[in-house]
Structure 1
Amino acid sequence: MLSFLRIENIALINSIEAEFGPGLNLLTGETGSGKSIIVDSLAALTGERVSTDLIKEGERSARIEGVFSINGTREVRQIFEEAGVELESGSEAEIVIRRDLSLAGKNRVFVNDQLVAAAFLKKIGPLLVDIHGQGDQASLFEPSSQLAMLDHFAQTGSLRENAAVCYAEWRSVCEELKTLKSDEAEKLQLVDILRFQVDEIRRADLRSGESDELEDEKRRLNNIEKLSLLSSQAFSLLYEMDGSAVSTLGQAVDRIRQLGEYDDRFKDYFEGLDAATAVLEDVSITLRNYQNNLEFSPERLEAIESRLAEIARVTRKYGGTVETAIEHHARSEARLSNIETAELREKELNTELARRRKSYLDAAAALNEKRRAAAGRFVKQIETNFKDVALEKARFEVRIDNGDDESRFGPDGSDRVEFFFTANPGESPKPMAKVASGGEASRLMLILKSVSNQQNGSKTSVFDEIDAGIGGRVAEAVGMKLKRLAAAQQVLCVTHQAQVASKADHHFVVEKSMGKRSTSITIRQLDDAERIEEIARMLAGEKITDAARENAREMIASAGKR
C-alpha cells in the first residue's frame, strides 16, 4: 500500500506531499491541473524511465519519494535478500523509495536509504504498484497483454520461468546448428581441397634437409671422374708412393724420439706426432676405400633428379620450402580435423536439439494445461463482474490455441491467447479489439485488472481516468466497482466523474494556480464540506448551485450506505 508521496521540482510542481490511506483514494481537479503528472511521478517509483525534461524549469534537480507498506509479500522479500538491501523483518514492513534526478545526469535511486541500481527498482516496483494509464486500453486488445493477464490470474510464474529457460536452451542449440550448417556447399568444397593437399604433401614424404643431401649426392655423381682422380692422387701422396707423407712423417717421428732420449724438451711432442701419424693413416684408408667404392650410376642420378623435381614441385605450391610445406600439411590436417569434428558436433547437436525440443514442449504443455484449467474460472469471474459495471448481457470467452510448430515457440510457451467479447445478446463473441467501444474498453480494463490482480491484495492499483468516455448509470456502476475493488486492496484513481468521486474513502483535489510569473500545482485532502463542494463543481461546472450541492450530499450519503 502507498502511504505517502512527496514530489519536488517535477514539471509545474514545486513541492507537494500527500498521505494516502487504505481503500479508494480519488484525485479530482480541473482538466490540466496536473493529476497525470502525479501519476507519472508515481510510475517513476516503479522503475519507469524518467527524462530530465521533467525537472521544473529553472531548477537543477528533482526528487520523487514514496513510502509503501507490504504485508507478507514473500516475492518482494526474496528480491531484497538477493540484492542485499535491508528490509524490516516481520509480517509487515515499510519500503521507502526515492528517485533523485539531476540535469547533470546523476540520476540515482535509493531504497530504504540504500543506493540501488535502476534494475532493482524495475523488479520490485511492479509488485508494489500496478498503474493503468489513459492509453492502456489499447494494450487490452493485444494478445500478449491478454496472455499476461491470464497468467497473472493463473499464477503461472514458475511454469513460465521454466518454459523461458527451456526455450533459451533450445534456441541456443538452434543457433549453433545454424552456424555449423551455414555455407554447406563452400564447406564441402573446402574439405575436398584440404584432403587433396594433405594427401599430396603426405605422398611427397618431405623431410627437412633431404634436398641438400640429394644435391650433394647429385654433385658427386656428376663429378665421378674428378673425384676418382683426386682421391687416387691424394692416396698416393699420403701412403703409396716412395717418399709418401706417411712414410716421411714416420721417419721424422723416429728421429725426434731419438732426440728425446737425450733432451726431454722433445718428449712433449711425442703425443701430438703420434696423433698426426694416426690421422694420416686414417685418411689414407678412407681415401682408398672411397676410391674403390666410387661408381657412376645413371639410374641413381635420374632418381635423384626426379626426387628433387618432385620436392621442388610440391614446395612451390606450399610456401617455397620443405619446412613451409610441412607446416601447411599440419595446418590443413588440423582444419580438416576441425571440419570433421564439426560434422560429428552437428550430429551431437541434432540429438541435443531433439532433447531440448522435447523439454520445451513438455514445459509448454504444462503451461498450457495450467492456463486451460484457469481459463474457465477466469471467464466465470469476469462474467460475474459484468453486472457491476452495467454490462449485464455481455459474454466473455478466453480462447487458447496451442501447437507444436516451431514458429509458435516463445519464452512464454506456444499458446496463442485471445479474449473474445460481445455486449449484445444474440451476437457471437468476437475479438475484443473489433467489438469493444471506448466506454466498454474502460470497463473491461477495470474488470480484467481487478480479477487478474486479486491474488495480491498488498499491491496498489492506480487508474488514470479509467472512467473516460462514460457517464450516468455506467459511471455510477464503475464507481461502485472501484469501491468494491478497494475493499480488498488500495486503489488510487484519477477521475472526472462525480459518480465515481462520491465513492471515495479519501478524496484529494489537485489544483493549478497561475501567478504573474509562475504556475504551480498543489494537492490537498478534502474534508466533508470540501468534498460536497468539489463534487458539486463536477456536477454543475463553474457556477455551483444549491441543487448541485444537495445532489452531491445525496451521492456521498448513498455511497456510504452501500
Structure 2
Amino acid sequence: MLTELSIRNFAIIDQISITFNEGLTVLSGETGAGKSIIIDAIQLLAGGRGSVEYVRHKTNKADIEGLFSIESMEHPIYAVGRQYGIEITDEQVVLERTITKSGKSICRVNGKLVTLAILREFGKTLIDIHSQHETQSLMDADNHIHLLDLYDYEQIKQAKEEYTNLYDRLRKLQQRYKQLNENEQEIAHRQDLLSFQLQELEQANLVPDEDEILEKERNSLANFENVHTALQNAYNALYGDGRGLEWINHAMLSLSEHEKIDPFIDEKAEEITNYYYSLETMAFDLRNYIDQLQYNPERLNEIEARLNELNRLKKKYGATVNEMQTYMAKIEEELEEITNKDFHLTALVEEIEEIEKDARLEAKELHHLRKKAANALVKEIHSELKSLYLEKAKFQISFDNETDHPKLHKDGYDTIRFMISTNPGEPLKELTKVASGGELSRIMLVLKKIFAKHQGVTSVIFDEVDTGVSGRVAQAIAEKIYEISNASQVLCITHLPQVAAMADTHKLIEKHEKDDRTSTTVTELSPDEQMEELSRMITGTELTETAKEHAKEMLDLADIFKLKDHQE
C-alpha cells in the first residue's frame, strides 16, 4: 500500500507529507482546495504524463516521492524489479519523480535513475487510478481478455503458458520462413554479403582466445627490461658474497653449533635451515628464468600487427575472437540455408504446420476454459449490479471470431469484449458506450470490486467516481467502495457524505492564502471533526444540529455495515 506521500512545489502545493493507512481513506474538501491535484501528483508518480504547468510558480522544480509497503513476496513488483535490475528490500518500494521548470523529468525507483517508461511499469503494478473522465484498464476492450484470464487464473494459467510457448515458436518459424522466401534479389545480396564475411573470417585463421594470449605476450615483451631488472635485482640480493643467503648461512651455522645446549636454539636452528634451503632454491629458479628470458623485437612487431588485424575484424564481427568465431558459425549456417533454400523452406512449412496444429489445440482449450470462466463472471457481475440498483441491467461477455479457422494471436484466438445493456429492450453495448455517468460509475465499481483481488494492485484510487448519483444509489456505491478496500488500500476523493461516512481514515484538504501565495494543507480528522465535516457535506455551508444528528446517524450505520461485512 501507499504508506507515505511527499509533495513539494507542485501546482498550489508548497510542501506536504501525508501518511496513509490500510483500508478506506477519504479525501474531502471544497472545490479547488487541491484534492485532485494530490491525485495528479500520484498519477505522475506512477508514470503519468507531466507538464511544466505542475511546477509551482517561482520555483525551479516539483518533487513527488511515494513509499509503498509490499506485503506479499508474490507481488508482481518483484518480477518487474528483477527485469530492470532494481533490488527490492525490506518489502518497500520508493518511487520518485521530479519535473523541472524547463520540462525535464527525472525518475527514480529505490534511488536508481530510470526512464519514464520503466517508472510506468512499476507504477501500474502499485497504483490503479479511476476517475469519472479517464478511460481505465477496466474500460479498455483490449484488456478484457486479460481480466477474464485473471478471474479464473488458477484454471487458465497452465493452458495459457503452454499456448504462449507454442505461439512464440510459431512466430519465430514464420518469421524465418518469410526471411528465406524474400525476393531473389535480396537473397542474392544477402548471400554475397555473407560469403564475403565468411571468406574474410576464414582467411584470418582465428584461434580460440588468441587475442587474450597475444595481449599477455605483448605485455611481457613490452616490459622486458623492467621484468629482467626486477628478477636480476632479486637474484643479486639473495646470492653472492655478502648477500642475503650468505648472512642467513652465518645465522644457521651459529645456531647449529649450540643446538644441543638449548631446546629453543634447536627448534630455531631447524627453522632457519629450512628457510635457507627454500631461499637457495628460489635464487636458482630466478637465475634459470633470467637465463631463459630473450628479448625478440621482431616477435613484438608480429604480435602488434596480428592484434591490429584482430581489432579491425572486431569492429565488424564481435568484441572478442571467441565472439567472432560464434558469428562465423552463425553465418555458415545461414549460408547453408540460403544455398539449400528450397529444402529448408519445405522443412519449415512442415514444422510450421505441426506447431500451428498444436497451438490451435491449446487455443481451443483456452477458449473452453474462458467460456466457463465467463459464465461464472457474468453471474457474479449480475449479482453485484443488483446491489447497486441496476437489477435490470444485462451483462454479457462477447467472444468474437468464432469461425471454423480463427486467426491465432498472442492470447489464443479469442477476441473478448465486455457488453452491457442498462435498460430493458436496449441492445447490448460496449462499456465505453454507456451514456450515463452514474451508470458507468456503478458498473466500474462492480468490475473493480471483482477484479481488485485478482489484479494484485497495492493501492486503488477513486477520483470523484460517485459524481452524478444520490440517495440509495450513493449509499450502495459507498458500501461497494468499502468492500473494495477489504482487498486493496483505497484512497477516495468524494463529495458524497455516504462515502465519507464509510472512511476508516478521513483527511480534509484545505486551501489557504499567506503572503499573497496560495497553498494546500492536509489534516487527518478526529471522530468529532469527521462528524462536523460530514455535516458540512450534507448542508453545504452552515452547520445545523439536524445536520450533525444526521451525520452521527450515518456514521453509526456505517459502523454497523462494517461490522456485518467483516463477520460475513
Work out whether residues 64 and 98 of structure 2, in 8 Å CA contact, stay in contact via their aligned partners in 1: yes
Q: What amino acid maps onto 1:559 in structure 2?
A: A
**CA-based RMSD:** 3.4
Residue 123 of structure 2: aligned partner: 125
Work out whether residues 337 and 344 of structure 2, in 8 Å CA contact, stay in contact via their aligned partners in 1: no
Seen in structure 2, the aligned counterparts of structure 1 residues 98 and 141 have a Cα distance that, compared at 3 Å, is closer
Counterpart CA distance in 1 for 2:336 and 2:172 is: 24
Residue 21 of structure 2: aligned partner: 21
Seen in structure 2, the aligned counterparts of structure 1 residues 175 and 27 have a Cα distance that, compared at 3 Å, is same
Q: Deviations along 1:248-304, whole A, 9 cap, x unmatched?
A: xxxxxxxxxxxxxxxxxxxxxxxxxxxxxxxxxxxxxxxxxxxxxxxxxxxxxxxxx
Alpha-carbon deviation of 1:435? 5.1
Residue 60 of structure 2: aligned partner: 60
Counterpart CA distance in 2 for 1:52 and 1:369 is: 50
Counterpart CA distance in 1 for 2:68 and 2:337 is: 59
Seen in structure 2, the aligned counterparts of structure 1 residues 84 and 339 have a Cα distance that, compared at 3 Å, is closer
Alpha-carbon deviation of 1:19? 1.1
Seen in structure 2, the aligned counterparts of structure 1 residues 122 and 434 have a Cα distance that, compared at 3 Å, is closer
Counterpart CA distance in 2 for 1:398 and 1:132 is: 22
Other structure's SS at 1:467 match = coil
Residue 545 of structure 1: aligned partner: 544
Seen in structure 2, the aligned counterparts of structure 1 residues 538 and 373 have a Cα distance that, compared at 3 Å, is same
Alpha-carbon deviation of 1:475? 0.8
Alpha-carbon deviation of 1:467? 0.8
Q: Percent identity?
A: 36
Other structure's SS at 1:33 match = coil
Work out whether residues 132 and 437 of structure 2, in 8 Å CA contact, stay in contact via their aligned partners in 1: no
Residue 38 of structure 1: aligned partner: 38
Q: Deviations along 1:363-386, whole A, 9 cap, x unmatched?
A: 433432332232122122212212
Residue 498 of structure 2: aligned partner: 499
Spell out the pairing of 1:61-460 with structure 2 (5 A cutoff): 61-74=61-74, 75-88=76-89, 93-103=91-101, 107-136=105-134, 140-155=138-153, 163=163, 166-178=166-178, 181=181, 341-403=340-402, 408-424=407-423, 429-434=428-433, 437-455=436-454, 459-460=458-459
Other structure's SS at 2:492 match = strand
Residue 238 of structure 1: aligned partner: none
Work out whether residues 434 and 440 of structure 2, in 8 Å CA contact, stay in contact via their aligned partners in 1: no
* TM-score, scaled to structure 1: 0.65
Work out whether residues 126 and 457 of structure 2, in 8 Å CA contact, stay in contact via their aligned partners in 1: yes
Other structure's SS at 1:72 match = coil
Seen in structure 2, the aligned counterparts of structure 1 residues 175 and 457 have a Cα distance that, compared at 3 Å, is closer
Seen in structure 2, the aligned counterparts of structure 1 residues 362 and 133 have a Cα distance that, compared at 3 Å, is farther
Counterpart CA distance in 2 for 1:400 and 1:447 is: 21
Q: What amino acid maps onto 1:80 in structure 2?
A: G
Other structure's SS at 1:414 match = coil
Residue 520 of structure 1: aligned partner: 519
Counterpart CA distance in 2 for 1:145 and 1:436 is: 21
Counterpart CA distance in 2 for 1:346 and 1:168 is: 19
Counterpart CA distance in 2 for 1:175 and 1:381 is: 42
Unaligned runs of 5+ in 2: 189-334, 562-568
Counterpart CA distance in 2 for 1:94 and 1:359 is: 43
Alpha-carbon deviation of 1:117? 4.8
Alpha-carbon deviation of 1:508? 1.3
Seen in structure 2, the aligned counterparts of structure 1 residues 409 and 343 have a Cα distance that, compared at 3 Å, is same
Other structure's SS at 1:147 match = helix
Residue 246 of structure 1: aligned partner: none
Q: What amino acid maps onto 2:488 in structure 1?
A: Q
Seen in structure 2, the aligned counterparts of structure 1 residues 52 and 165 have a Cα distance that, compared at 3 Å, is farther
Counterpart CA distance in 1 for 2:463 and 2:361 is: 41
Q: What amino acid maps onto 2:150 in structure 1?
A: H
Work out whether residues 152 and 373 of structure 2, in 8 Å CA contact, stay in contact via their aligned partners in 1: yes
Seen in structure 2, the aligned counterparts of structure 1 residues 406 and 99 have a Cα distance that, compared at 3 Å, is farther
Other structure's SS at 1:413 match = coil
Residue 557 of structure 1: aligned partner: 556
Alpha-carbon deviation of 1:9? 1.5
Alpha-carbon deviation of 1:443? 0.6
Other structure's SS at 1:98 match = strand
Other structure's SS at 2:417 match = strand
Counterpart CA distance in 1 for 2:175 and 2:554 is: 64
Other structure's SS at 2:453 match = coil
Work out whether residues 62 and 100 of structure 2, in 8 Å CA contact, stay in contact via their aligned partners in 1: yes
Seen in structure 2, the aligned counterparts of structure 1 residues 165 and 515 have a Cα distance that, compared at 3 Å, is farther
Other structure's SS at 2:5 match = strand
Residue 534 of structure 2: aligned partner: 535
Q: Deviations along 1:466-496, whole A, 9 cap, x unmatched?
A: 1122111111110011112212321111112
* TM-score, scaled to structure 2: 0.64
Seen in structure 2, the aligned counterparts of structure 1 residues 117 and 138 have a Cα distance that, compared at 3 Å, is closer
Work out whether residues 71 and 458 of structure 1, in 8 Å CA contact, stay in contact via their aligned partners in 2: no
Seen in structure 2, the aligned counterparts of structure 1 residues 140 and 441 have a Cα distance that, compared at 3 Å, is farther
Q: Deviations along 1:491-550, whole A, 9 cap, x unmatched?
A: 111112122111111111222334563322222212223222322222222344333333
Work out whether residues 6 and 66 of structure 1, in 8 Å CA contact, stay in contact via their aligned partners in 2: yes
Alpha-carbon deviation of 1:171? 3.9
Residue 191 of structure 2: aligned partner: none
Seen in structure 2, the aligned counterparts of structure 1 residues 166 and 59 have a Cα distance that, compared at 3 Å, is farther
Counterpart CA distance in 1 for 2:186 and 2:122 is: 50
Other structure's SS at 1:417 match = strand
Work out whether residues 70 and 458 of structure 1, in 8 Å CA contact, stay in contact via their aligned partners in 2: no
Alpha-carbon deviation of 1:64? 1.2
Unaligned runs of 5+ in 1: 191-335
Work out whether residues 98 and 111 of structure 1, in 8 Å CA contact, stay in contact via their aligned partners in 2: yes
Other structure's SS at 1:454 match = helix
Residue 478 of structure 1: aligned partner: 477
Work out whether residues 153 and 453 of structure 1, in 8 Å CA contact, stay in contact via their aligned partners in 2: no
Other structure's SS at 1:455 match = helix
Q: What amino acid maps onto 1:99 in structure 2?
A: R
Counterpart CA distance in 1 for 2:139 and 2:78 is: 33
Residue 308 of structure 2: aligned partner: none
Work out whether residues 150 and 455 of structure 2, in 8 Å CA contact, stay in contact via their aligned partners in 1: no
Counterpart CA distance in 2 for 1:519 and 1:12 is: 6
Q: What amino acid maps onto 1:538 in structure 2?
A: M
Seen in structure 2, the aligned counterparts of structure 1 residues 344 and 133 have a Cα distance that, compared at 3 Å, is farther
Corresponding pairs, count: 413
Q: What amino acid maps onto 1:149 in structure 2?
A: L
Counterpart CA distance in 1 for 2:16 and 2:535 is: 25
Counterpart CA distance in 2 for 1:187 and 1:405 is: 37
Counterpart CA distance in 2 for 1:131 and 1:435 is: 20
Counterpart CA distance in 1 for 2:4 and 2:364 is: 44
Alpha-carbon deviation of 1:426? 6.7
